[in-house]
Structure 1
Amino acid sequence: MIEDAAAELFIENTYARTTIDQITTRAGVSRATFFNYFGAKSDLLWFEVDRAIDSLREACAEASATGSLDSVCQVLLALAGDFDERRVPLALTQGEVMGAADEVVQSGLLRIAAQARIFAAFFAARSARHPDDLLVRTAANALAGAVSAAWITWARAGIGRSPLQGYLAESVDVVFPGIRAAFDDVGRGNVY
């Protein structure tokens, strides 16, 4: 209810002119209820992505303990299979209409950084390296960038878009061979 009320108000009034009080009134809930589910108004732009990031965190933690380096790709594709056209993030499709372009960029970067931290933890665990290691950070940021590029392209493809899995597979295929090769080189004793 909160998400739907916010989406309507953001389009009617713009993002900047919509207050949390307006959202809670339209949704028929209290401010306290709002803050039980969302930390800030900008979180409403990304609720689908935030849910995916939570699932990604759990799945990557599990895969880092038992899977291969490539298992992160399997995790990503499995999570992408849960998304259909009804779950396209508002921020990626309606940001301009809502007058939230600047907020979308700022809050979007926080989500990319969150994904990079998850990937860094995964790569560090799989390679027995520290999460702040240059190779780990570079691989994590490259993969987070590929995931973000896939999401944006998928969301903006419009009605009739192909499933997210295809976009994600194509985007990850651009960077993952280099990530795998870099970790293989380290495994052979090459140091960065």
Structure 2
Amino acid sequence: MNASRIPSTLGTGGATPTGRPRRSSRETLQDAATELFLEQGYEQTTVDDIARRAGVARATFFNYFPAKGDLLWADLDPVLESLPSALAAQPTGESPAIGVRTALVSLTGQVPVAPVLLVERLTIGAAAEAAHAGLPRMHGVDVALRRFTLSRTHARDGIPEAFAAGATGVLLAVGRRWLAAGSDRGSLGAAVDAGLAPLTDAFAPLLPPA
């Protein structure tokens, strides 16, 4: 369980706190949702419940999350959103297959612990919603990888697209296995690196640098 997403109920020196620690509205909503999903389940928790527990207006919720299901991916969204800039920072003069591997390993290495809501998605009754909310995110990964690969090589005939789709599939498969691995799951970055290694080795000669 990602303890960092559950606010402590104990104050310093044993004193009882008078309210939540100062946090952003986004973090407070995430904490409130995590508490409620674990207490009463995903389907039984409404947006109004989450806003009320967080102490914010219902409209504030939608300033940060378009839908309730987006809370399930909230811890990973900043990492996924950083992918285009991480790809753009990769050096030219090497196969884009190598750049994709480097960028994905670097970004996933920034995930310190498994997001509690994705780990507990079966327990809280949110497995289907987690998968549904994950689809546009994996599509976004595929688009970013495809654009980068096409821009960094003259290879065509569907090879860049096939590599991008394969790398996206590896990321998804490795991520699911990592979430299910339990307390000894290790580093997500290391798992992604191992998963991408054979794909990169196979495609790098087919994707020479432009």
Q: Do the two structures share a fold, i.e. TM-score over 0.5?
A: yes
Q: Of the two, which has the highest radius of gyration? A: 2
The answer to whether 1:161 aligns with 2:185 is yes
- Could you tell me whether the CA contact under 8 Å between 2:75 and 2:115 is conserved in 1? yes
Higher relative contact order (CA 8 A, sep 6+): 2
The 5 A counterparts of 1:10-49 are 10-49=37-76
Alpha-carbon separation, structure 2, partners of 1:18 and 1:166:
35
The answer to whether 1:72 aligns with 2:100 is yes
Match of 2:174 among 135, 150, 172: 150
- Could you tell me whether the CA contact under 8 Å between 1:92 and 1:156 is conserved in 2? no
Q: Alpha-carbon deviation of 1:14?
A: 1.7
Correspondence for 1:190: none
Would you identify which runs of 4 or more consecutive aligned residues in structure 1 move more than 3 Å? none
Q: Alpha-carbon deviation of 1:71?
A: 1.8
SS of residue matched to 2:168: helix
Alpha-carbon separation, structure 1, partners of 2:57 and 2:154:
47
Match of 1:170 among 169, 194, 197: 194
Read off the aligned partner of 1:177 and give its amino acid letter: D
- Identical columns (%): 34
| Residues 67 and 35 (structure 1), Cα distance of their counterparts in 2 relative to 1, 3 Å cut | farther
Per-residue deviation, residues 71-128 of structure 1 (Å, max 9, x unmatched): 221112221221212xx23453111111111112211222211111110111011125
TM-score relative to the length of structure 1: 0.84
Alpha-carbon separation, structure 2, partners of 1:67 and 1:111:
29
Question: Which consecutive unaligned segments of at least 5 residues does structure 2 have?
Answer: 1-27
| Residues 99 and 126 (structure 1), Cα distance of their counterparts in 2 relative to 1, 3 Å cut | same
- Could you tell me whether the CA contact under 8 Å between 1:46 and 1:90 is conserved in 2? no
How many residues end up aligned between the 2 structures?
A: 181
TM-score relative to the length of structure 2: 0.78
Correspondence for 2:130: 104
Question: Which consecutive unaligned segments of at least 5 residues does structure 1 have?
Answer: 188-192
Q: Alpha-carbon deviation of 1:39?
A: 1.4
